């Protein structure tokens, strides 16, 4: 079963290769979606894929790359048909918003 999650990661998560590491990890799990920095210091992630892979990725995001210091992670499952944009076919790194 496929799932889609929107995730916000708090802590020292910018300037530590969090986006690139997230992209690499998502590609290993065969997930699509994107990652981007937020102007408020958080990292935002949209994940889509098979449930076991999404769950594994959520666990990885709780820690992130070794340079990061994750203090909090917020996530919620969202229905794909409520997205305001099409899901990317791959996992992308997006610009800061």
Catalytic residue positions, numbered: 19, 37
Contacts of 55 (CB under 8 A, 6+ apart): none
Instruction: Please report, to the nearest 10 degrees, the dihedral formed by the alpha carbons of residues 8, 14, 20, 24 taken in order.
Output: -50
Rounded CA-CA distance 34/44 in Å is 8
């Amino acid at each position: 079963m496929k799932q889609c999650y929107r995730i916000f990661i708090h802590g020292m998560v910018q300037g530590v290769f969090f986006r690139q590491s997230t992209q690499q990890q998502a590609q290993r799990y065969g997930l699509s979606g994107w990652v981007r920095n937020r102007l408020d210091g958080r990292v935002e992630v949209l994940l889509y894929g098979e449930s076991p892979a999404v769950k594994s990725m959520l666990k990885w995001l709780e820690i992130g790359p070794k340079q990061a210091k994750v203090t909090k992670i917020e996530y919620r499952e969202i229905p794909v048909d409520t997205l305001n944009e099409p899901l990317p076919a791959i996992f992308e790194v997006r610009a800061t918003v």
